[in-house]
């Protein structure tokens, strides 16, 4: 966890340093705001990094007004589930890229319910059909949102 | 004036205007529930339909839709942790933890009732303020508006972490949000900043993909990790009594709701500040109103006061935003700018005429805001029982639908796959922010306000050099900002000196 905290501080320092480095080449008006924001960000992230490395204890660490992740799941299981969920999200985006949004919707709902949530075939198919119906009626038929065709449809000129 | 007030009511109650208001409310209800399709975008889509309507009918339709979207946006914020509207993001912070504790009904009851009170206070403010608001708006120039926005960020950053280290993190996140907002074309010179050669970034990052990623992805991951329903495996809430409890909470904390509504009206009046600021300032005020630092620690963990404040401010700011729009033709937000085009289509010129010749139409807007919100809240209260039951459905069933909602919402921002990638990237950053205890609200507020702050800073510097720092109202606002930053320390010191150990 401490290693992660250090890495996150380094990430912030890198972002601020990149912003300052990029902004130095711009005109005064263009760089005024990014520079005046990046310098204090760099300073605060560095202070935080030093506190994480040399500070004692974590009693003052709370994020205050924010979500706390649940701690009643063993860390290994939690890590596995986090990676698994990110993979599903990434899979969704890749699927949208390959076959487009309208086809991804039923595919994603069905595969997630059937293979991740272990829902029965019947329920998975029914939920998929209902979702696709709502999606089509609302976004394509009523609101007329233009969804980009997927890469496969473009390659095959469909 | 009283005649015009009553005429305004009758204009709204005419069957055609009333029916159109109901249609608008139905649309607003759906729009509010769907992340990404914002109230402003829907207003724009509906403008072509008003050509054949009378002014009272058109405003009943448009305002009915717009005011309801702000109310129902809170529902998904509470149930799934996904803000239905960008202006409902602050409700997530305490509303969703309440749902996780099995208090979804209470949170929804509180959100809806505070929204209703906020809307009514906003409508009353609109009715009362029009003749007296002119000097206030004219007193606030770019330097004052800049400082007002800075105070908005200071409020939330100073309250977002426990102790000095918490404040460092809060300010760092606020600054990161401001920095991210500078991506894209700079407005004054047209120069590109941090675009990394990617054309998508030229326009800057859209609010919706970023906000949805920041708030929804960590919540979805947490739900997947827990492997339970949103409400967990604790005893199920008695929904009806939960909703009633939420309504009672609103009246138990009536003065907090009132103060937050006033904040909403005030921020709404200030052109350009918008709902993003109102909800967070109200949230920060709710936190500040905690009795001591121990009481303050309850926020973010599911404290009903964290739902009441933003709920009230979100809706009261509608009335506030209408004040400069109607009185001077200066729209308070993007949605009001679109509404302004509605005025012009109807052949109405905002300004003195709206306060004299067309006063009854102005009052019909006041009535629309009030009536539309009353009907919506009453309707919502009847179905809340069913809505809150969603939090008891197994996570495995909920996650794919919420993910779909999230990605369809973010895709509608620009209609590009890059929107989904932005959501994923900010979702990952947000996950690590939560994991390592860096607060997200300051980041969001910094991001939402960044462009406005930069514009005001630019105008202030170009027009006054550094002398704007000596403007009396600016000095007053700087002092207020310092008090806001020091307040948690003062509160802590007071708590320590008052504790029995020191007695």
- Residue whose tokens read 């769907």: B34
Contact by Cβ (8 Å): B110, B122:
no
DSSP B502: G
Phi and psi torsions of B361, nearest 5° = -70, -40
Q: Detail the DSSP E strand segments found in B176-256.
A: 184-185, 192-193
User: Which residues of chain A have a CB within 8 Å of the CB of B146?
Assistant: none
Across the interface, do B415 and A82 touch by the CB < 8 Å criterion? Answer: no
pTM of the model: 0.76
Q: What is the pLDDT of residue B135?
A: 65
Across the interface, do B225 and A81 touch by the CB < 8 Å criterion? Answer: yes
* A contact test, residue of B174, B179, B401 with most A CBs within 10 A: B179
Neighbours of B428 (CB within 10 A): 16
Contact by Cβ (8 Å): B416, B199:
no
Q: What is the pLDDT of residue A9?
A: 93
Cα–Cα dist B481/B491, whole Å? 16
- What are the CA-CA distances from residue B48 to residues B58, B68, B125, B235, B320 (Å)? 11, 20, 30, 50, 25
Helix or strand or coil: residue B430?
helix
Q: Which residues contact B64 (CB under 8 A, 6 or more apart)?
A: B20, B21, B22, B23, B24, B25, B28, B368, B372
Q: Which of B468, B399, B91, B7 is nearest to B222 (CA)?
A: B399
Q: What is the pLDDT of residue B287?
A: 84
| Cβ–Cβ contact A115 with B under 8 A | no
Chain B closest CA to A63's CA: distance in Å? 4
Helix or strand or coil: residue B193?
strand
Contact by Cβ (8 Å): A48, B169:
yes
Contact by Cβ (8 Å): B435, A4:
yes
Regions of chain B with pLDDT less than 50 = 500-503
- What are the CA-CA distances from residue B30 to residues A118, B98, B319, B406, B413 (Å)? 30, 23, 22, 15, 17
Across the interface, do B188 and A29 touch by the CB < 8 Å criterion? Answer: yes
Cα–Cα dist B402/B76, whole Å? 10
User: Which residues of chain B have a CB within 8 Å of the CB of A96?
Assistant: 407, 411, 417, 420
Q: Say what the alpha-carbon torsion angle A36, B332, B39, B26 is, to the nearest 10 degrees.
A: 160
| Cβ–Cβ contact A33 with B under 8 A | yes
pLDDT, one tens digit for every residue, chain A (158 residues): 788 889 999 999 999 999 999 999 888 888 888 999 999 999 999 999 998 888 765 544 545 556 677 777 788 888 898 999 999 999 999 999 999 888 999 999 999 999 988 889 999 999 999 988 888 887 777 667 778 888 998 888 77
Q: Which of B5, B3, B15 is nearest to B54 (CA)?
A: B15
Q: What is the pLDDT of residue B37?
A: 57
| Domain limits, chain A | 2-54, 75-155
Q: Which long-range contacts (CB under 8 A, 24 or more apart) does B12-19 make?
A: B12/B56, B12/B60, B12/B364, B12/B367, B12/B368, B12/B371, B14/B56, B14/B57, B16/B57, B17/B54, B17/B56, B17/B57, B17/B60, B17/B364, B18/B60
The residues in B 267-286 lying below 8 A from A, measured between CB atoms, are: 283
Cα–Cα dist A80/B41, whole Å? 39
Helix or strand or coil: residue B394?
strand
């Amino acid at each position: 966890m401490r290693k992660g905290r250090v890495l996150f501080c380094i990430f912030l320092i890198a972002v601020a340093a990149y912003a300052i480095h990029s902004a130095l080449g711009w005109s005064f008006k263009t760089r005024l705001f990014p520079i005046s924001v990046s310098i204090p960000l760099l300073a605060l992230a560095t202070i935080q990094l030093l506190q994480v490395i040399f500070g004692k204890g974590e009693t003052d660490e709370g994020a205050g007004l924010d979500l706390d992740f649940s701690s009643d799941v063993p860390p290994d299981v939690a890590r596995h589930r986090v990676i698994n969920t990110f993979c599903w999200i990434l899979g969704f985006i890749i699927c949208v890229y390959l076959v487009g949004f309208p086809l991804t919707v039923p595919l994603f709902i069905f595969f997630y319910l059937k293979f991740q949530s272990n829902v029965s075939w019947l329920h998975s198919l029914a939920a998929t059909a209902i979702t696709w119906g709502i999606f089509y009626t609302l976004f394509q038929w009523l609101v007329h949102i233009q969804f980009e065709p997927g890469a496969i449809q473009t390659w095959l000129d469909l | 004036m009283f005649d015009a007030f009553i005429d305004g009511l009758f204009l709204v109650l005419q069957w055609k205007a009333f029916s159109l208001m109901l249609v608008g409310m139905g649309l607003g209800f759906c729009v509010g529930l769907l992340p990404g399709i914002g109230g402003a975008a829907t207003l724009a889509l509906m403008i072509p339909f008003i050509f054949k309507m009378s002014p009272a009918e058109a405003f009943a339709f448009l305002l009915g839709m717009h005011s309801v979207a702000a109310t129902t946006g809170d529902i998904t914020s509470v149930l799934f942790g996904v803000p239905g509207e960008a202006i409902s993001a602050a409700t997530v912070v305490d509303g969703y933890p309440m749902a996780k504790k099995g208090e979804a009904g209470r949170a929804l009851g509180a959100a809806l009732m505070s929204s209703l009170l906020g809307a009514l206070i906003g409508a009353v403010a609109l009715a009362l303020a029009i003749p007296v608001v002119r000097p206030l708006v004219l007193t606030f120039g770019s330097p004052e508006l800049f400082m007002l926005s800075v105070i908005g960020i200071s409020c939330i950053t100073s309250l977002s972490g426990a102790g000095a280290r918490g404040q460092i993190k809060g300010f760092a996140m606020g600054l990161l949000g401001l920095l991210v907002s500078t991506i894209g074309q700079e407005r004054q010179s047209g120069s590109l900043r941090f675009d990394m050669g990617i054309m998508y970034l030229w326009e800057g990052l859209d609010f919706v993909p970023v906000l949805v990623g920041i708030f929804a992805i960590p919540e979805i991951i947490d739900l997947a990790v827990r492997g339970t329903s949103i409400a967990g495996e604790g005893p199920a809430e008695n929904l009806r009594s939960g909703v009633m409890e939420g309504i009672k909470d609103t009246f138990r904390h009536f003065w907090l709701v009132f103060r937050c509504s006033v904040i909403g009206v005030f921020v709404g009046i200030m052109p350009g500040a918008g709902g993003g600021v109102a909800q967070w300032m109200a949230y920060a005020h709710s936190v500040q109103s905690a009795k001591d630092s121990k009481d303050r620690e309850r926020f973010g963990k599911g404290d009903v006061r964290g739902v009441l404040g933003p709920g009230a401010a979100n809706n009261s700011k509608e009335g506030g935003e209408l004040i400069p729009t109607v009185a001077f033709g200066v729209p308070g937000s993007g949605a009001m700018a679109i509404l302004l085009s509605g005025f012009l289509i109807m052949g109405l010129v905002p300004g003195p005429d709206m306060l004299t010749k067309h006063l009854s139409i102005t009052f019909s807007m006041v009535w629309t805001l009030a009536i539309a919100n009353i009907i919506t809240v009453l309707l919502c209260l009847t179905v809340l029982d069913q809505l809150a039951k969603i939090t008891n459905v197994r996570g495995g069933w909920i996650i794919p639908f919420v993910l779909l909602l999230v990605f369809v919402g973010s895709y509608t921002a620009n209609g590009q796959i890059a929107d989904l990638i932005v959501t994923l990237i900010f979702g990952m950053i947000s996950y690590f922010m939560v994991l390592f205890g860096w607060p997200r609200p300051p980041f969001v507020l910094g991001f939402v306000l960044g462009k406005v702050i930069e514009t005001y800073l630019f105008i202030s510097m170009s027009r006054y050099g550094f002398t704007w720092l000596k403007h009396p109202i600016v000095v007053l606002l700087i002092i207020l900002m310092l008090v806001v930053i020091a307040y948690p320390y003062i509160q802590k010191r007071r708590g320590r000196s008052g504790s029995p150990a020191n007695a």
